[in-house]
A and B are shown apart, each in its own frame.
Chain A
Amino acid sequence: MLRIRNLFASIDGKPILRGLNLNVHAGEVHAIMGPNGSGKSTFAQVLVGRDIYEVVADELTFDGRNLIDMPPEIRAREGIFLAFQYPIEIPGVSNLYFLKSAVNAVRSHRGLPELDAVDFMSLARQQAAELGIDDAMLKRSLNEGFSGGEKKRNEILQMKLLEPRLAILDETDSGLDIDALKVVAEGINAMRSPQRGIIVVTHYQRLLNYVVPDHVHVLAGGRMVRSGGKELALELEQRGYSWLENEQKAVVTP
């Protein structure tokens, strides 16, 4: 569903992604790992159309449609979702109101009738309860004053309600204690489906104990330097990233 060939991205003339390749098929869970500064977050942001990056690629398509010129909100409505590493606060806008606007924007794009307040409320409540999100949190301003864990759980709630076809989770495990991590992981696992692709971007292997990936890729220096199965994540956990980076340097400068 997602095909990426030779993707380059730069910001203010500074190259970050340099020739990245990746294919994601429906039903697969891909983990993107890598050291700090390797371009993981840039990659996530580029996929959803953040326009501060200059992007060129031989191919960047979602279900055969070119993403490069597609505005971010259309990508979202087409079913690409990003759980942000740092979810944004919007004061005065209730979480519930925002969720309803988002769900209805996506529904109307898909030709589905918009949900009214009552239907939406019962849907949201039920999904929220599974993530340990109570009514009070639904009524608070979006992400304002939320703890790190609350913000991340709220991202997962949005993902569940929006039912994307491709979900990208950017460092969703960061800042979570072990209980919150389990709740979030359960939320992600519940989203696994033959119709859906999931990309988990993470620095640590920890989350992958709970969300077991089909494929693991290591991003370093703006490109994928190693791909493998779930065992690659364990190897990285033991050996760190430096051996791969050294290997990479050895390839570039023999």
Chain B
Amino acid sequence: MSKDPRTSEILAQEYPYGFITEIDEDSVPAGLSEETIRLISAKKNEPEWMLEWRLRAYRHWVTMKEPTWANVHYEPIDYQTIRYYSAPKGRNNDPKNLSEIDPEILRTYEKLGIPLEEQTWLAGVAVDAVFDSVSVATTFRRKLEELGIYFCSFSEAVQKYPDLVRKYLGSVVPYTDNFFATLNSAVFTDGSFAYVPKGVRCPLELSTYFRINARDTGQFERTLIIADEGSYVSYLEGCTAPTRDNNQLHAAVVELIALDNAEIRYSTVQNWYPGDKQGRGGIYNFVTKRGKCLGVNSKISWTQVETGSAITWKYPSCILMGDNSSGKFYSVAVANNYQQADTGTKMIHIGKNTKSTIISKGISAGHGQNSYRGMVKVLRGAANARNYSQCDSLLIGDKCGAHTFPYLEVKNSTAKVEHEASTSKIGEDQIFYCQQRGLSVEDAVSTIVNGFCKQVLQELPMEFAVEARKLLGVSLEGSVG
């Protein structure tokens, strides 16, 4: 396109979150065995039932094979070279306030633009920050506790709210679920836990910020969110990782449970290191996220903006058990350079009058490969189930690819299922039109892409949407040149 000299400058732009924090780490040796799991469990001072659950998962995992059905390609992962636990050294098990946290870590979060100080209260965001394998701070906990809301690290929940954890852990994603979820069940280190009691509308956006810092470390976080009857919670998750030339594994599990008349909104902006321009390095993001609308009239929505990771393998799903429950999936996935994304959702209609909506926007640029994979399943008892799916792909350049794999299984004749799909290319005439109005090529691409993603971005909480827009611009810079 344009001969604009800035294009080449921007092409050279690097991942801005790629810095490494120098801190002492307390970690276990690389490799996976029952011994490793016992060590992790002991470091976290876990009760026996938790260790048993991990070991059951591990014993099952060794019988499983890594899945190959996804439309992604990578060298085999050697699970014995990964370190399964890494924590900043010398910290107390439970920092009481910010002054107990290693200042280096605080500076890391400052660089990332994540404020841990309580002024975030003004922004209405409570942050649980997970640094490698442990949660380093949870802000506003007291305020939330007054409302009966528990929001803490997963490890802490195991100690403080064992009944809730035991009741719901694995109730949506059983430890036998799939290769990566089972691995997570065996070795998960930390994550977030939230419980919103009956009738309470959580006044803050709960937020977790994940960062992978240590070399050769896998991050296996486990998140569990329970919305009791008539409650409401909105949860935000953001992720970054430093630039490293090897591939790091991130295999998380997120479980959501919505009881009668409850609503959970879960939003993700994922910006893990995507690898360099030649496709070296980057995070393998193999994640299992699933929500269960257990109660009547319950609602779960997943909104994700996936701009990072070398490989994304992720299908945030909803099990619509309660009558009149509804599930929504709004997704933007970017695959630029050599990124590969295989992402989508599963909507399982079990209860009567259940509704699901799927809006997927895939953007492919460079040599990126983007696949939408979605399943809509209507079981026999799901009378009057409704689904609407819309999958749009946008191509930038002619070396990338977009693929759509919709699966449909309908066993109730009263169900209505609609699917729409489109593929378009960013037109040179669109870019030129923007340029003629004074916009640079980068601004033109970012404007067009943001327009393409509008239906999804408008589902995000305001501050998050602003960040997501910027991120989309940055991750596609230099894709037209």
Contacts and interface: CB of A to CB of B under 8 A. Distances in A.
B450 A73 contact: no
A84 interface: yes
A101 B450 contact: no
Contacts of B450: 92-93
Nearest to B439: A105
Contacts of A82: 436
A158 B437 contact: yes
Interface string B408-427: 00000000000000000001
- Per DSSP, chain B at the interface is helix
B80 interface: no
A166 interface: no
Contact of B430 (A48, A72, A90): A90
Contacts of A48: 436
B451 A109 contact: no
Interface string B443-459: 10001101111110000
Contact of B435 (A76, A109, A141): A76
B477 to A, nearest CB: 16
A93 B449 CA distance: 9
Contact of B2 (A71, A88, A90, A162): A71
Contacts of A92: 450-455
Interface string A95-111: 00010011001100100
A15 interface: no
Interface residues of A, number: 29
Contacts of A81: 436
Interface in A57-97: 71-73, 76-77, 81-82, 84, 87-88, 90-93
Contacts of A84: 433, 436
Given A87-B433, A90-B430, A90-B433, A76 B438 contact: yes
Contacts of B4: 71
Contacts of A72: 2, 432, 435-436
Contacts of B443: 101, 105
Pick the most buried of A72, A81, A87, A141: most chain B CB atoms within 10 A of its CB. A72
Contacts of A76: 435-438
A77 B447 contact: no
A220 to B, nearest CB: 26
A249 interface: no
A50 interface: yes
A91 B427 contact: no
A109 B438 contact: yes
B436 A90 contact: no
A134 interface: no
A102 B447 CA distance: 11
Given A51-B3, A141-B451, A88 B437 contact: no
A90 B437 CA distance: 13
B23 to A, nearest CB: 41
B123 interface: no
Given A88-B429, A92-B452, A71 B435 contact: yes
Contacts of A49: 435-436
Nearest to A89: B430
Nearest to A141: B451
A88 B433 contact: yes
A141 B455 CA distance: 12
Pick the most buried of B3, B447, B448, B450: most chain A CB atoms within 10 A of its CB. B447
B71 interface: no
A211 to B, nearest CB: 21
Contacts of B122: none
A102 B434 CA distance: 8
B1 interface: yes
9 contacts: A48-B436, A51-B1, A72-B2, A73-B436, A92-B450, A92-B452, A98-B434, A105-B438, A158-B437
Given A71-B2, A73-B436, 20 more contacts: A50-B432, A51-B1, A51-B2, A72-B435, A73-B440, A84-B436, A88-B429, A90-B434, A90-B447, A91-B451, A91-B452, A93-B448, A98-B447, A101-B447, A102-B437, A102-B438, A102-B439, A105-B437, A105-B440, A158-B437
Interface of A: 48-52, 71-73, 76-77, 81-82, 84, 87-88, 90-93, 98, 101-102, 105-106, 109, 141-142, 158, 162
The 9 closest A-B CB pairs, nearest first, are A92-B451, A93-B451, A105-B438, A102-B437, A92-B454, A88-B433, A72-B435, A76-B438, A73-B435
